[in-house]
C-alpha cells in the first residue's frame, strides 16, 4: 500500500489540475505556479496569446503578415498557434513564412529544412532570403574575415534588414517574430549592462518600427520559454534545436545564464523585469539619438549611414573593425573619415540590397 501511495503521490495524483479539477496535472506554470493538465495548458496558452493580440491590437483584418521563421522552437510554435488562432477567432490574416539564410553551414542549412517542412505542415507559403544575395557575404565568409568576436553584431544587424527586405518582397503589411518573455528580459538586462539607453527605451515595446518600412510585433512577449518548449513537446511540433555554432562567444549568453538562475529562484522575475523595462522613464536631460535615414541606402538610421552599410563597407574594404565598438567622439567617427575619401572612387562592394527605401 505504501508503494502505490508513493507512486500516486509522485505522479501528482494526490492533486488535480488547478483549472479543471478533473485531470492529472502535467506541468507547473512558471508564470502562476499553477499545476495544470495537458488540455487546460493548451487552452490557457492559446487563450493568453489571443488576449495579448487583441488587447494590444496587433493586427487588422485583411493584413498580410510574415512570420519570421527560423525552424526553431519559438517560430515553429508561433506559426502553429498564429494559424490556429487566425482560424479560430477569424483574424482575417494572410499568413506567410519568411526565413533568412545567413549562410552558416551545419546550422542554418539544417534549420531551413525544418521550415520547408513547416511550410507543408501548416500550409503557409515560404519565402527565403539569403545574406549572400542581399549583401554578397555569408556569415561563414564574415567570420573567416573578422574572427570569432562580434559575429552576432554583424548577423543581428544584417538579419534585421534582411527581414524587412524579405517582407517587402512578400508585400506584407507586418512582420511577427517569436521573441519570448525570456528573450525580452535578457535584452532589458543586456541594454542596462551596456548603458544603451536608446535601445532600453524601445526594447519592451510589443510593436516596433511603425515609423519604418515594416512594423513588427512580438505576440510571445509575455510567454515563457519553458511553456513554449512544453507546448511544442506535448503537441509534437517539429522544430530544429541546435545552438548557432558562433553563439558561445556572444555576450547575451551571460544575461541568459543570469535570467535562468533567477527564474529558478523566482519565476515571476522574468515578467517583472519586462515590467520594469516598460516603466522606465528616461531623464529629460539625457541626450537621445534622433532618427533619420541612411544616406547610402535609405534605411532608417540614427546616424548618417545605417549600421548595415557601415559594417558592409568595413567588410568590403578589409576593415573588419569598422562599426564595431565605440570610437571616441561621435558614434560614426570612423565613418565620417572614410566617407570623405570614398566619393570619387567606385566601390567594389554591392549596394546594400537591390531595393531602396
Partner 1 sequence: MRLTLEFGGGLELLCDSEKIHKVNVDLPNGAAAADDFTMKHLLSWVRTNLIKERPEMFMKGDTVRPGVLVLVNDCDWELSGQLDTTIEEKDVIVFISTLHGG
Q: Residue 220 has what DSSP assignment?
A: T
Binders of partner 1 in range 98-137 (CB under 8 A): none
Would you list the DSSP string of 250-289? Answer: -THHHHHHHHHHHHHH-TTHHHHHHHHHHH----TTS--P
Task: Answer yes or no whether residue 257 interacts with partner 1 by CB under 8 A.
Answer: yes
Total of chain residues touching partner 1, rule CB under 8 A? 40
Given CA atoms 8, 11, 15, 16 in this order, what sign does their dihedral have? negative
Sequence length of the chain is 357
Considering only the stretches 133-141, 176-184, 269-277, 330-338, report the one whose residues sit in contact with partner 1 under the rule CB under 8 A.
176-184
| CA 311-312-318 angle, 5° bins | 90
- Is the CB of 7 or the CB of 337 nearer to partner 1? 7
Identify the bridge partners of residue 95 per DSSP, sorted by sequence position: 65
Is residue 206 within 8 Å of residue 58, measured between CB atoms?
Answer: yes
Among 150, 177, 185, 152, smallest CA distance to 70 is for 177
Location of C-alpha cell 515553429: 76
Can you tell me which of 178, 219, 323, 353 binds partner 1, judged by CB under 8 A?
178
Residue in 277, 275, 281, 300 with CA at minimum distance from that of residue 289:
300
Q: Whole-number minimum distance, CB 7 to partner 1, in Å?
A: 7
| Stretch in the footprint of partner 1 (CB under 8 A) among 79-87, 120-128, 177-185, 268-276 | 177-185
Minimum Å gap between C-beta 179 and partner 1 is: 8
Provide the minimum distance between the beta carbon of 16 and partner 1 in the complex, in angstroms, as a whole number.
12
Is residue 151 a contact point for partner 1 (CB under 8 A)? no
Residue 25 engages partner 1 in binding (rule: CB under 8 A): yes
> Is residue 323 involved in binding partner 1 (CB under 8 A)?
no
Instruction: Note whether 186 binds partner 1 by CB under 8 A.
Output: no
Question: Shortest distance, CB of residue 36 to partner 1, whole angstroms?
Answer: 10
What angle separates helix 139-146 from helix 307-316, to the nearest 10 degrees?
A: 70
Give 26 or 192: the residue with its C-beta nearer to partner 1.
26
Q: Retrieve residue 72's grid coordinates.
A: 526553431
End-to-end CA distance of the chain: 73
Residue 14 or residue 285: which is nearer to partner 1 going by CB?
A: 14
Q: How far apart are CA 337 and CA 341, in angstroms?
A: 7
| Closer by beta carbon to partner 1, 11 or else 54 | 11
In the list 24, 31, 149, 268, the residue contacting partner 1 (rule: CB under 8 A) is 24
Q: How far is the CB of 178 from partner 1 (least distance, A)?
A: 5
Residue 70 is a binding residue for partner 1 (CB under 8 A): yes
Radius of gyration over every alpha carbon of the chain, rounded to an integer in angstroms? 22
DSSP-based three-state secondary structure for 8: helix
Q: Is residue 27 a contact point for partner 1 (CB under 8 A)? A: yes
Q: Which is nearer to partner 1, 179 or 296 (CB)?
A: 179
Query: Judged by CB under 8 A, which stretch of 9-17, 54-62, 210-218, 305-313 contacts partner 1?
Result: 9-17
Among 59, 73, 81, 246, binds partner 1 (CB under 8 A): 73
C-beta separation of 311 from 158 below 8 A? yes
Pairing of strands 300-301, 292-293: antiparallel
Measured from the Cβ of residue 77, the count of other Cβ atoms closer than 10 Å reads 24
Looking at the Cβ atoms of 139 and 312, the one nearer to partner 1 is 139
Q: Does 308 bind partner 1 (CB under 8 A)?
A: no
Per-residue x/- track, 217-246, partner 1 (CB under 8 A)? --------xx-xxx--xx------xxxx--
CA distance 41 to 301: 42
CB atoms within 10 A of CB 264: 10
Residues that bind partner 1 (CB under 8 A): 3, 6-7, 10-12, 15, 24-28, 35, 70, 72-75, 178-180, 183, 225-226, 228-230, 233-234, 241-244, 247, 256-257, 260-261, 263-264
Amino acid at each position: 500500500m505504501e508503494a502505490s501511495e508513493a507512486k500516486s503521490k509522485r505522479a501528482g495524483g494526490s492533486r488535480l489540475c488547478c483549472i479543471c479539477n478533473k485531470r492529472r496535472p502535467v506541468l507547473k506554470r512558471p508564470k502562476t505556479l499553477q499545476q495544470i493538465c495537458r488540455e487546460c495548458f493548451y487552452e490557457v496558452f492559446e487563450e493568453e496569446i489571443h488576449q495579448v493580440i487583441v488587447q494590444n491590437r496587433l493586427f487588422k483584418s485583411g493584413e498580410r503578415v510574415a512570420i519570421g521563421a527560423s525552424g526553431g522552437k519559438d517560430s515553429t510554435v508561433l506559426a502553429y498557434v498564429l494559424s490556429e488562432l487566425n482560424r479560430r477567432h477569424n483574424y482575417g490574416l494572410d499568413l506567410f513564412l519568411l526565413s533568412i539564410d545567413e549562410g552558416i553551414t551545419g546550422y542554418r542549412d539544417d534549420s531551413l529544412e525544418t521550415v520547408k517542412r513547416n511550410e507543408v505542415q501548416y500550409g503557409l507559403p515560404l519565402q527565403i532570403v539569403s545574406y549572400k544575395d542581399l549583401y554578397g557575404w555569408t556569415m561563414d565568409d564574415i567570420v573567416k574575415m573578422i574572427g570569432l568576436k562580434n559575429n552576432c553584431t554583424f548577423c543581428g544587424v544584417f538579419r534585421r534588414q534582411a527581414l524587412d527586405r524579405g517582407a517587402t518582397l512578400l508585400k506584407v503589411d507586418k512582420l511577427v517574430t517569436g521573441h519570448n518573455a525570456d528573450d525580452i528580459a535578457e535584452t532589458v538586462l543586456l541594454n542596462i549592462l551596456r548603458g544603451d539607453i536608446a535601445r532600453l527605451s524601445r526594447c519592451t515595446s510589443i510593436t516596433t518600427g511603425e515609423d519604418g518600412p515594416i512594423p513588427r510585433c512580438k505576440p510571445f512577449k509575455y510567454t515563457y520559454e519553458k511553456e513554449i518548449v512544453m507546448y511544442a513537446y506535448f503537441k509534437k511540433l517539429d522544430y530544429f534545436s541546435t545552438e548557432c555554432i558562433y553563439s558561445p562567444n556572444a555576450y547575451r549568453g551571460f544575461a541568459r545564464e543570469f535570467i535562468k538562475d533567477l527564474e529558478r529562484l523566482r519565476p515571476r522575475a522574468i515578467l517583472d523585469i519586462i515590467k520594469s523595462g516598460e516603466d522606465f522613464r528616461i531623464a529629460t536631460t539625457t541626450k537621445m539619438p534622433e532618427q533619420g535615414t541612411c544616406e547610402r541606402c535609405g534605411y532608417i538610421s540614427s546616424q548618417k549611414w545605417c549600421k548595415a552599410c557601415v559594417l558592409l563597407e568595413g567588410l568590403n574594404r578589409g576593415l573588419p573593425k569598422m562599426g564595431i565598438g565605440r570610437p571616441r567622439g561621435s558614434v560614426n567617427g570612423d565613418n565620417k573619415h572614410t566617407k570623405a575619401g570614398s566619393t570619387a572612387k567606385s566601390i567594389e562592394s554591392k549596394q546594400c540590397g537591390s531595393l531602396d527605401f
